Amino acid sequence: MKLRALEAPRRAAGAAAAQAAAIDRGYLARFTMGNEALAQEVLELFAAQAPVTLDRLRRARSDADWQQAAHTLKGSAAAVGARQLQRWAELAERVTSLPDAEREAQRALALSLIGEAVEAACRQIGQMYAP
């Protein structure tokens, strides 16, 4: 599935999508078996590493580098319940299979969507544990 096909529903969702929780706290509680200290540790690790992995995705020069960074983001997002980020990263993994003429535009769109999702997740984590 092309990312472009998801652009219209994304815009249509508008402010409602922007207000949706970037992290599924219920999933995270199940994943950490209700251990809030563990949840905080996992989220803080995610918040530290997600921007680094996003940067790896931005700097990817080969299809293998792109796929590895996208796959890492997908897995990390899945582990903390960052569902939207997980979906965008999963689609980004497939960008390398597109014809050359479409690949760069789809990579740019993927980076934009993933960047927004990483920012939203990190912002929510920051708000959860703000002093």
pLDDT, tens digit, 9 for 90 and up, residues 42-68? 999 999 999 999 999 999 999 999 999
Domain definitions of the chain by residue range: 23-128
Three-state SS for 72? helix
pLDDT of residue 109: 95
How many angstroms separate the CA atoms of 74 and 82, rounded?
9
Q: What is the mean pLDDT of the chain?
A: 88
The answer to whether 120 touches 108, Cβ cutoff 8 Å, is: no
How many angstroms separate the CA atoms of 112 and 20, rounded?
18
Fold for the domain defined by 23-128: Four Helix Bundle (Hemerythrin (Met), subunit A) (1.20.120)
Provide the terminal-to-terminal Cα distance of the chain, rounded to the nearest Å.
Answer: 42
pLDDT of residue 30: 94
pLDDT 10s digits, 88-116: 999 999 999 999 889 999 999 999 999 99
Query: pTM of the entire structure?
Result: 0.83
